[in-house]
Structure 1
Amino acid sequence: MIPLTLTQLTAAVRGDLRLSGSDTPDTVVSGAVDTDSRLIEPGGIFVAKPGETTDGHRFVDAALRRGAAVALVERPVEEAITQIVVPDAVSALADLAREVVARVRERGDLRIVGITGSNGKTTTKNMLARILEGEGETVAPRASFNNAVGAPLTMLRVTEDTRFLVSEFGASGPGEIARLAGLVSPDIGVVLMVGMAHAGGFGGIEATFAAKSELVRAIRPGGLAVLNADDPRVSAMAPIAAEGDVSVRWFGRGPDAHVRATDVEVTAAGTRAELEIDGQAVPLHLQVLGEHHVMNALAAIAAATALGVDPRDAVARVETLEIAERWRMQPLGSERVRILNDAYNASPDSMAAALRTLAQITRPGERTVAVLGAMSELGEYAGEEHDRIGLLAVRLGIQRIVVVGAEARRMFLEAVSQGSWDGEAVFFPDADAAYDYLLTELREGDRVLVKSSNAAGLRFLGDRLGESFS
């Protein structure tokens, strides 16, 4: 974090300063901010956030032992550490992020990009960060730090030398993206797609559209919206951009996109495409597997080139990305049995894309195996969406469909009803049972997709399989 005096820090979070030891109101604090006492470093600021299962106030002493200089608390604690008492620790974290980013923006040439969408946020964020790191100091979220805690923690990593801040905005309900993006008013907002992910929490696809469009409304006047020209719901956000004096830059596969892809080819070695970037032809060879990641690359390149990055430099840098993120189309195992562990998140769109990728990369003589778990947060749409995935797996000719967990059982039942009734589709109640089956079932030449939402826990099954067949 940038240096702030305790007086400035207290004012930013609208708290009550309680000094300890030799600290004075003019004492300067510049350490990193975190809600996890295990990650606190000397001089850091510990945010004692109450949680669902524990309370951060219990760990102030642990943070102090690791060298914390200040604790943001909702009630005074006994530990001998300077404290700032606030009504709500998460709100205070957001207030501090807003203040720090505003100060850095006033002093330099900081440019801020916000990214949202039902799928692809983390991959696009990683691609854009990889491109921008070649231009100057870039701050981007670790893993999927995109919620009310993760997004401000990322923002607080900016320094006076930071040129680019890439923020990823997720949401579990209406208004959340507006609150998070409103902390920084991005120069550029990227909207990837509007799909069924989290539709249960939003109340349907139209409510999801409204929530994702909150990012476009948060872009500062004179800024830029980078929109998916191939998604009708995303392209419908163009009038919203115009209302806010925000211009639009399109990415997609169609002829009208500023950044477009043609001749896409997916293989086990990666994904190739021909790009046209503002009329300039540039070939692309992604190491990241999956045709759907071409759209993520287009979005990242569209944002980067809008920030002045040379198109060929942007493409060359995104090509160096080997995987999108751990547990996202992560190749494991060996050439004998290749495991694709894509079980960090799952929605109907990403599940379908992963299954298509499995079918595309499998060569004659090899066998497709899909290990599938539940898709979370679909609410009333869960049943029909799991049915559709079971149907798609059969239509794609997936040769072994292994469904894991009671919440995913309808995928198995639909696959059986569509013709996979002679052992092609099997069901197991838990990952351990599925693992035991797969150890004996998998054979040389198998290409195995492991796909589920995070809550289903199949990412660890994917890791176990990858180790067993390495």
Structure 2
Amino acid sequence: MIALTLTEVASAIGGELHLRGADTPDTVVRGTVDTDSRNIGPGDVFVAKPGETTDGHLFVSVAADAGAAAAVVERVVTEASVSQIVVPDVVTALADLARAVVARVRAHGDLRIVGITGSNGKTTTKNMLARILSDEGETVAPRASFNNEVGAPLTMLRVDDHTRFLVSEFGASGPGAIAHLAGLVEPDISVVLMVGMAHAGGFGGIEATRAAKSELIEATRRGGTAVLNADDPRVAGMASIAAERGMSVRWFGRGASADVRADDVEVTADGTRCTAVVDGVPHALHLRVLGEHHVMNALAALATATVLGVAPDAAIGRLEELQLAERWRMEPLGSERVRIINDAYNASPDSMSAALRTLAQITGPDERTVAVLGAMSELGEWDGEEHDRVGLLAVRLGIQRIVVVGAAARRMFLEAISQGSWDGEAVFFPDADEAYDYLTGELRDGDRVLVKSSNAAGLRFLGDRLGEFFS
């Protein structure tokens, strides 16, 4: 965070300052801001956020002992020897502080801000873009999937006077969430990847999801740039919102009309090769990140980077250095003997389909495809039919072993075994431990194994265990 006095911090968040020790209103703080006391070090600011299982106020003294310069609280913790700023709501205060800090940096620097949203691919695209931009200047981007009401402001608060690029990832817990988060910084460039069924249950359908994602365009600075998926009609329709705001549009996609597109895509076990055509000029691109679906994420990153003045050849060279999109996202584990692909951090109908297709594409004729599948979350009334579709797709792709884990995913198993013409095998296990016992005895040399589920299903840990067992 930039250097601010305690008075300036209190003013930015509308809080009441309670001083401790030798501190004065003019004491300067410039450390990291965090809601986890375990991450606090000397000079940092601790935000005592109440949670579902515990309360950050219980750890204010721990943060003080670790050297915190200040704590943002909803009530004074009298026993803690650290200056405290009392606010009605610490999450609101966190957003207010992020808004104030970014505005100050922007006012006297050349900070450029990119906002990214979409039903799938946000984190991968963010990582790709951050890798490209990091060689151009100091770049701040979210750790993991810091894209909610807490994670997004914490990322914003990492900017300082030397930051040239801020890449923000925006998730949506419901209508208005993206408008709120993006409104804190008003991005110069907004990137919308796709509108799919992820979280459709929470929004009330795919059209409501489209409206939520379009909030990012509406929150972008007038005269900025919208980077839009030309292949997704719901995203392409957001060009009219951009036009109303005097924004230019940069298109990415697989079709010939896109400003940045991919031709001759070839998927293999060591990544994906294609020709990236940027404004009519072809460039060879070899992505080491597994999965054809990541080509679209790379195109979005390329389109955005070129808006920011990065030469296409330089951007492509940096993309080719990435070997992993993110932990638990198409992460290769195991060995050449038994290859485990752990993609169980998140799952939606679209990402399930993409992962299964990748498994089929990268498996050779003398190898066996095995899909270990768990539930997809937040699908609401579409939950049953979407799980049915995944089971059917796995069969139609010729996946040779389907292992379904957890009661919430059982319909995948039932749909798979209902396909009488299929000559493979589907099995069901109520929990990951039983699935692990089965798989460690069932898997054999030449197997290519996809582990895929939503985060809540917890199969990412099963994937890790299998990766270690077969390493």
Distance, in Å, in 2 between the alignment partners of 1:172 and 1:222 is 28
Cα distance, 1:419 vs. partner? 2.8
Output the aligned Cα RMSD: 0.8
Distance, in Å, in 2 between the alignment partners of 1:145 and 1:325 is 13
Identity %: 79
Indicate conservation of the 8 Å contact 2:329/2:345, yes or no: yes
Relative to structure 2, which stretch is displaced further, 236-245 or 191-200?
A: 236-245
The CA deviation string for residues 156-196 of structure 1, in whole angstroms up to 9 with x for no partner, is 00010000000000011100000000000000000000000
Cα 1:421/1:413, change in 2 over 3 Å: farther
For the residue of structure 2 that corresponds to 1:94, the secondary structure is helix
Question: Structure 1, unaligned stretches of length 5 or more?
Answer: none
Q: How does 1:68-107 map to 2 (within 5 A)?
A: 68-78=68-78, 79-107=80-108
Distance, in Å, in 2 between the alignment partners of 1:352 and 1:421 is 18
Distance, in Å, in 1 between the alignment partners of 2:142 and 2:446 is 37
Q: Report the equivalent of 2:164.
A: 163
* Moved segments of 4+, more than 6 Å: 420-423
Distance, in Å, in 2 between the alignment partners of 1:423 and 1:321 is 35
Distance, in Å, in 2 between the alignment partners of 1:213 and 1:130 is 26
Distance, in Å, in 1 between the alignment partners of 2:102 and 2:122 is 22
Distance, in Å, in 2 between the alignment partners of 1:467 and 1:52 is 32
Distance, in Å, in 2 between the alignment partners of 1:206 and 1:299 is 22
Distance, in Å, in 2 between the alignment partners of 1:420 and 1:359 is 18
The CA deviation string for residues 302-338 of structure 1, in whole angstroms up to 9 with x for no partner, is 0001000000000000111101001000000000000
Return the TM-score normalized by structure 1: 0.99
Q: Report the equivalent of 1:225.
A: 226
Distance, in Å, in 2 between the alignment partners of 1:71 and 1:353 is 44
Aligned AA (2:36): D
Q: Report the equivalent of 1:201.
A: 202
Distance, in Å, in 2 between the alignment partners of 1:394 and 1:16 is 61
- Count of residue pairs brought into register by the alignment: 470
Question: Structure 2, unaligned stretches of length 5 or more?
Answer: none
Q: Is the aligned partner of 1:319 residue 2:323?
A: no
Q: Report the equivalent of 1:249.
A: 250
For the residue of structure 2 that corresponds to 1:195, the secondary structure is coil
Cα distance, 1:375 vs. partner? 0.1
Aligned AA (2:433): D
Cα distance, 1:422 vs. partner? 6.7
Q: How does 1:59-458 map to 2 (within 5 A)?
A: 59-78=59-78, 79-419=80-420, 424-458=425-459
For the residue of structure 2 that corresponds to 1:338, the secondary structure is strand
Indicate conservation of the 8 Å contact 2:115/2:170, yes or no: yes
Distance, in Å, in 1 between the alignment partners of 2:23 and 2:62 is 20
Cα 1:453/1:123, change in 2 over 3 Å: same
For the residue of structure 2 that corresponds to 1:260, the secondary structure is strand
Q: Is the aligned partner of 1:44 residue 2:44?
A: yes
Return the TM-score normalized by structure 2: 0.99
Aligned AA (2:82): I
Cα distance, 1:420 vs. partner? 7.3
Distance, in Å, in 2 between the alignment partners of 1:82 and 1:65 is 12
Indicate conservation of the 8 Å contact 1:394/1:419, yes or no: no
Indicate conservation of the 8 Å contact 2:189/2:220, yes or no: yes
Aligned AA (2:76): P
Cα 1:396/1:153, change in 2 over 3 Å: same
Cα distance, 1:94 vs. partner? 0.2
Aligned AA (1:60): V
Q: Is the aligned partner of 1:16 residue 2:16?
A: yes
For the residue of structure 2 that corresponds to 1:49, the secondary structure is coil
Indicate conservation of the 8 Å contact 1:260/1:298, yes or no: yes
